[in-house]
Amino acid sequence: MRIVIAGGHGQIALRLERLLSAGGHEPAGIIRRPEQAADLREAGAEPVVLDLETASSHMVADALRGADAVVFAAGAGPGSGADRKDTVDRGAAVLLADAAERAGVRRYVVVSSMGADASHPGEEVFDTYLRAKGAADDEIRSRTALDWTILRPGTLTNDAGTGLVRLEARTGRGPVPRDDVAAVVAELLETPATAGLTLELTSGSTPVSVAVKAVAGN
């Protein structure tokens, strides 16, 4: 499959690109800065330079043509203000959905966040982030032209992945290595029957492939 990943230079995205490339797929990563291209090529991914905060849906659709799936793994990142939580964590996810529909790409996997909720209370930047992610998730789930899956990981860590997870509609809070998040996204992309599911993810005791098959009903 050709899989286009928004936020292609992010920590989860780079891990995902390596996994997909090793699995015989053709990953492409959307990046804002041309100097990030070498890291994507090293991960086995094609770099696509495009700013999702300023691009039109037509421009993004052009980048998605011929893709079998898209993954939204972009984020404004730590240190960014409330405005960019809205333009990236919400706005870019919706823009990518618009572009996917325009390009005829049905499969759409979102890396969201545990606790994402459009009505989350609070005035801190993290509260704004959770509202933005929740609003994006709600928008994606309303799209009947997309075969979406929303993945909501717990607290992300840089610990080495174990390949053992808990993946359910509700897991309760907990940590999960970015390695294992990337592995779950790769498995979701291989499992069309997970379309229409919103899933929480933490470390657990079930191998990734088994956990994904279980939620898919296989």
Which residues form the catalytic set?
Answer: 129
Helix pair 93-103, 57-64: axis angle to 10 deg: 60
Residue 41's CB is within 10 A of a number of other CB atoms, namely 13
Both tokens of residue 81?
């203000």
**CB 154 within 8 Å of CB 113:** no
SS3 215: helix
In b/e form, how buried is each residue of 127-143, taking b as 16+ CB within 10 angstroms? bbbbbbbbbbbebbeeb
**CB 90 within 8 Å of CB 132:** yes
What's the CA dihedral at 150, 154, 158, 159 to 10 degrees? -120
State how far the Cα of 94 lies from the Cα of 106, in Å rounded to an integer. 14
- How many residues are listed for the chain in this entry? 218
**CB 86 within 8 Å of CB 128:** yes
